[in-house]
A and B are shown apart, each in its own frame.
Chain A
Amino acid sequence: MSAVAVENTRNQPLVNLRGVTKLYKRGSETVEVLKRLDLAVPRGDFLALMGPSGSGKTTLMNILGGLDKPTSGEVIIDGQPIHTLSDSALSGWRARHVGFVFQLYHLLPVLSAEQNVALPLMLTKLSGPERKKRAMAALTLVGLEDRAKHKPAELSGGQEQRVGIARAIVTDPTILLCDEPTGDLDRKAGDEILELLQLLNKEHGKTIIMVTHDPHAAAKAERTLFMNKGVLGEEPEA
C-alpha cells in the first residue's frame, strides 16, 4: 500500500453508513425503522446516541455490531463492507472487531469474572495461560483484579458492568458498542462506568458508540446525535 493510500485510509471514518434503511414486518404492516440513514464516525470518537424508545437506536446498534443486516444501504466499518458478509463470516468479524457492553451486563452466571472476560478469547488461538493473562489484564484495567474468582452473583451491579466492559475490550476490538451501559445502575456506579469508558476512549483510543436515554451519560461523550423515527439529527426533536 502506498503512502497516499495509507493516508487516505486514516482519513476515512471508522464507521461509515450510507443510505441505510431497515424495514420490519409487523403482521401485515411494514415498518420503516431506519430511513436512509447516513453516519460517519471517525476513529477514536466517543459518540452518544439518544432518542425516545422505538426511535431505532437499538436497531442501528445491532446493524453496527453485525447482529442485524440493513434492508438496503451500505455499512462499512474500518474499510470492510459488513452488510455483504454471511452469517458465519459476520460471527468471525464480530469476534475480531466489536466489543459489546449490554445494559443488563449479560454475564454467564456459572462462570467467574475472569472466565467471563476470557470467553471471547476462546475464539482465538491463544493458549489457556495466555487467555488467562489477557483476561486478568483487562480486569486490572477496569479495577477488578481482586474480584477475578468471584461469580456474577457475588458482585455489585457496577462491578458486573465493569466485568462486562473488560469482556468487551479483552480482544482489543476496533469499536465498542454500549447499549445503555448505565441504565441499570445508580448514579454513583453509573458515573464510575462512564469514567471508565472515557478512560478507554481518551487513554486507549477506543472508538465508542453508546446508546443512552440519560443526558447526564450522553454529556460524558465527545458528541451526541439524536435519533427520532429512524432519522439521525444533531438536535433533539422539539
Chain B
Amino acid sequence: MFTLIWMNFRRNKGRTLLTLLSVMIAFLLFGVLMAVRHGFSGQRPESQAATLRMTTLNKVAPYSPMPVEYAERIAEVPGVKAVTYLSAFAGFYQKQSNFVLMFAVPSATVLQVYPDLTVQPNELKAWMADRTGVLVTPELAKQYGWRVGDRVPIGSAIQHKDGGTTWDVTIDGLINTRDGAQFSSQKLFMHYKYLDEARASNQGTVDTFVELVSSPSQTVEVSHAIDHLFINASPQTLTTTSNALLQKAYAAAGNVGAILTGVAVLVFLSMLLVVGAIMLHTARERLSEFAVLRALGFRRVTITGVVLSETILVCLGGGLCGLLLAYFLIGALQHVLAQQVAGVIMTGFAVVVSIALMIVLALLAGVVPALQTWRLSVRDALGAA
C-alpha cells in the first residue's frame, strides 16, 4: 500500500510540494493564531505559587492609587500568608522605544509573595542594602547590555520632587524564575521606599496589593474578606485571582479571542476546499489506474484506503511541518509581543487540537474522492480509458 501511495506522490512532484506547502502555511498560521489567542485569554501555565496569588485593586478605577496602609489590614485577614504591594509605571532606557516595566516593591515582602522568583543570595543582600538598587530580568539585562553593578538612568513620566524625571538606579542582581513561573521579560524591581520618598505626588499610595494564600480553595473566601474590610473605606477594593484579573484586562480590549478563533476557522475552511479540490482531481485522473489495480485483484477497500491515506499524509505531513515552524515563530514573537501580551505560547492543548484538525481536514477532504473510488466500476473505467 505504501508503494502505491509513494507512487502517487512522485507522479506530480510540483503539485505534491505545493499542496504540502499550502497545508503547512495554513497550520503555521493556525498555530500562531492559537498561541496569540492563548496570550489574550490570560490562561498562562501557572506555577504552583501563581495559583495561590491574589490581586487587590481599586474597585472604582483599577490601578488607581490606594493607601499603602491597606497592606497591614490585609495581612491580618485569615488565610493570607503574605502580602506585598506595588506601584507600576512605564520607563525607558536611553530612548522611548527601549521599554522597561518598572515595579516599585517593598524589598521585605516581595519575594515572600513571589516564591517562584529567585535572586542570588549575595545579589539580594546587595539590593536590600542599596536604596537606589534594582533587580532586573536576565532578558532585560541582555537586551540593554546591563551588567550587575552598572549604574543606569531610567526615564519615566513620574516626576521627582526636584522636577526631574530620570531615575538613576544600580543593577544589583537578576531575577530568575523557578517552578515553571511565567514572568514578563521586561521587568525591573526597584525599592518602593525610593520611589515614594522621591516622587512629587501620590506619596503613600500603591496601585496593587498582591496576597499569597495557603490554598487555592481559600481564594473566594479571602477575596470576600479583604473587600469587606474596605467596604466603608475610600477607595473600596476588588480582590480576585491574578489569572482572572488578566482575563478581565484582555476582555476590556475587546473579544480578541473570538476574532482570532474566527480567523482560524476561516483558514481551516479555505484549506479544506483547497485540499479537497486537489485530492478530488488527483483521484479522478487515476480512476483508470485504480480500475487496473482492481482488475489485478486489489480489493476495493485497499484502493479506497490508498486515497484516504494520501490525504491524511498530505495533511499530517504539511500540518506538522507548519506546526513546527509555528513553534519557532512563536518563540520569536514572544520577545516582540512581550510588552503587549504575555503567555503567547504553543500549549499542549493547541498541539492536540491542531493534530485533530489535520485528521479531520484529511477525512473531510478525502471523503469525496474516497467515495468516488469506492463506487468505481472497473468495467466502465476501463471502457472509458
Q: A residues touching B (Cβ–Cβ < 8 Å)?
A: 58, 62, 65, 67-68, 87-88, 91-96, 98, 100, 102, 104, 106, 108-111, 115, 119-120, 122-123, 167
Contact = CB atoms under 8 A, between A and B. Distances in A.
A87 B295 CA distance: 12
A160 to B, nearest CB: 13
Given A102-B382, A104-B385, A106-B288, A67 B7 contact: no
A106 B299 contact: no
Contacts of A92: 297, 299
B63 interface: no
Interface centre among A88, A100, A106, A120 (most CB of B within 10 A): A106
B298 A123 contact: yes
A95 to B, nearest CB: 3
Given A93-B297, A106-B292, 16 more contacts: A65-B295, A67-B295, A88-B299, A92-B299, A94-B295, A94-B296, A95-B296, A95-B298, A96-B297, A100-B296, A106-B385, A110-B11, A119-B293, A120-B297, A123-B296, A123-B297
A163 to B, nearest CB: 13
B151 interface: no
Contact of B379 (A67, A88, A94, A111): A67
A102 B294 CA distance: 14
Nearest to A104: B385
Contacts of B383: 58
B379 A62 contact: yes
Contacts of B385: 104, 106
B199 interface: no
Nearest to B9: A110
B3 interface: yes
A104 B383 CA distance: 10
Contacts of B298: 91, 95, 123
Nearest to B293: A119
A108 B296 contact: no
B48 to A, nearest CB: 55
Interface of B: 3, 7-8, 10-11, 288-289, 292-301, 378-379, 382-383, 385
28 contacts: A65-B295, A67-B294, A87-B300, A88-B301, A91-B294, A91-B297, A91-B298, A91-B299, A92-B299, A93-B297, A95-B296, A98-B297, A100-B295, A100-B296, A102-B292, A102-B382, A106-B288, A106-B289, A106-B292, A106-B382, A108-B289, A110-B8, A110-B10, A111-B7, A119-B293, A123-B297, A123-B298, A167-B296
A65 B378 CA distance: 11
B297 A95 contact: yes
The main secondary structure of chain A at its interface with chain B is helix
Nearest to B289: A108
B309 to A, nearest CB: 15
Contacts of A102: 292, 382
A119 B296 contact: yes
A111 B6 CA distance: 11
A222 B8 CA distance: 41
Contacts of A106: 288-289, 292, 382, 385
Contacts of A94: 295-297
Contacts of B293: 119
B3 A122 contact: yes
A91 B378 CA distance: 11
A62 B299 CA distance: 17
A107 to B, nearest CB: 8
A117 B283 CA distance: 23
B229 to A, nearest CB: 78
Interface centre among B10, B293, B297 (most CB of A within 10 A): B297
Interface centre among A68, A91, A95 (most CB of B within 10 A): A91
Contacts of B292: 102, 106, 108
Given A62-B379, A106-B288, A88 B295 contact: no
Given A68-B379, A106-B382, A120 B299 contact: no
A106 to B, nearest CB: 4
B297 A88 contact: no
Nearest to B296: A120
B12 to A, nearest CB: 9
A132 to B, nearest CB: 12
A79 B298 CA distance: 23
Contacts of A111: 7
Nearest to B297: A95
A104 B382 CA distance: 9
A134 to B, nearest CB: 15
A115 B11 CA distance: 14
A123 B1 CA distance: 10
A212 B70 CA distance: 103
Nearest to A68: B379
Contacts of A91: 294, 297-300
Interface centre among B8, B292, B294, B379 (most CB of A within 10 A): B292
B381 to A, nearest CB: 10
Contacts of A120: 296-297
Contacts of A65: 295
Contacts of A67: 294-295, 378-379, 382
Contacts of A88: 299-301
Contacts of A167: 296
Nearest to B3: A122
Give the top 9 A-B pairs by smallest Cβ distance, nearest first: A95-B297, A106-B292, A94-B297, A91-B299, A120-B296, A110-B11, A67-B378, A110-B7, A100-B295
Contacts of B301: 88
A123 B383 CA distance: 24
